[in-house]
Amino acid sequence: MNVETLLKQYIPSLNSETPELDSQLLLAHVIGRPRTWLLAHLDEPLTPPQIDLANQAFTRLRTGEPLPYILGRWEFFGLDFDITSDVLIPRPETELLVEKAVHWLKASPHRRAVADVGTGSGVIAVSLAMQIPDLQVFATDVSHSALRVAKHNAEKFHVHQQIEFMECDLLPESKSNVLRPNFRFSSFDLICANLPYIPTETMHSLSVFGHEPTLALDGGKDGLDPYRKLLNLAPKWLAPNGILLLEIEATQGMKALSLAYDNFSEASISLHQDLAGHDRLLEIQFH
C-alpha cells in the first residue's frame, strides 16, 4: 500500500471540516516526514509497521480524539508548541490577545512585568517572551500537569529564564501569600488571561466535552465565574496605569463589558472582535 491509497482509504471516514488536511498531517506524523514531502511522494510504498501505526492513529482520530493530541503539538503565533491532553488545544482566536499585548508592550518600553493567568500550555507566556526579549512573565495555573507542559514549552523555546511559574488559582490572594524570598514581582503592568469561559450547561453539549480538560473549559453557571474572581484579585497586583486583557466567549461580550464597568467604573473599557467578527477580547485600561 502506498501513501495515496492509505489516504484515500481514510479521508471519507473522517468527521472533520478539513478531512484531507487532517489525514495528511496525521500520516506525515506517523511516518516522520513533513507534509510537503508526503504530497510529493504519494506513490511512496509504506512498510507494514508504518501501516499498523497509521491504522492505530486513524482509529484514535475517528473515535473523536482531537488531532493535536495525537500529534502532540500544535501551532500558535507561528510557533510549534508541544501539548498533551492535560491542556487546551491552542486556538487562533487567542492570537488576538497576544497581538494586543505585544502592541501595548512595544509602545510602553518601561512596562515589562506581565502576568499570564491560567497559562495552560504556556502559549501566551512563551509567545510574549519570544516577542519581547526583556519581558518578565509570571505564569500561573491551578493544574500541576498543565504547568509541566508550560515549563517544557518555555524550555523548548529558550525563554524559561524570562518566565516564573506558580501553581495557584488565578493569582495569589495577597502578596504575603508568596513565600519565595527571590520572588521578582511586586506588581504587574499587564495581566492577561484566557480562563475557562464556557457555561456549565453549554459545555456538556460541545464536541470538546470529554476530549479536552473540563477544568480548562467550565466557567460556571454563566461562564464568567473565573472572571469575577480575577477582577476582584487584579487591583492588588496591577501597577498604576496597568492594563487587563481577557479573552471571552463570543456570546458574552455585553455581559463581560457590564461586569467590567461594575468593577472599574473609571477605567477605559473596550471590546475587540476576532477575525470572524465575534466579541473575543475585553480590554480594561487603568489611568
Give per-residue pLDDT as tens, 223-241: 788 899 999 999 999 999 9
81 φ, ψ to 5°? -85, 140
Instruction: Say how far apart CA 135 and CA 130 lie, in whole Å.
Output: 9
CB burial string 48-72: b at 16+ within 10 A, e below: eebeebbeebbeebeeeebbbbbbe
pLDDT at 15 over 70: yes
% pLDDT > 70, the chain: 91
Q: Is residue 221 very low, low, confident or very high in pLDDT (cuts 50, 70, 90)?
A: confident
pLDDT at 180 over 80: no
pLDDT at 200 over 90: no
Mean pLDDT rounded to a whole number for the chain: 91
Sign (positive/negative) of CA torsion 54, 56, 59, 63?
Answer: negative
Task: Report all structural domains of the chain as residue ranges with CATH numbers, in order of start.
Answer: 3-64 (1.10.8.10), 78-285 (3.40.50.150)
Instruction: Say how far apart CA 26 and CA 54 lie, in whole Å.
Output: 8
Q: Of 149, 156, 112, 151, which Cα lies nearest the Cα of 131?
A: 112
What mean pLDDT is predicted for residues 119-134? 98
Q: What is the pLDDT of residue 117?
A: 97
115's enclosing H/E stretch is strand 113-117
Q: What is the pLDDT of residue 118?
A: 95
Q: Is residue 211 very low, low, confident or very high in pLDDT (cuts 50, 70, 90)?
A: low
pLDDT at 179 over 70: no
268's enclosing H/E stretch is strand 268-273
% pLDDT > 90, the chain: 79
Q: What is the pLDDT of residue 174?
A: 76
21-36 pLDDT tens trace: 999 999 999 999 999 9
Instruction: Give the 3-state secondary structure of 28-63.
Output: HHHHCCCHHHHHHCCCCECCHHHHHHHHHHHHHHHC
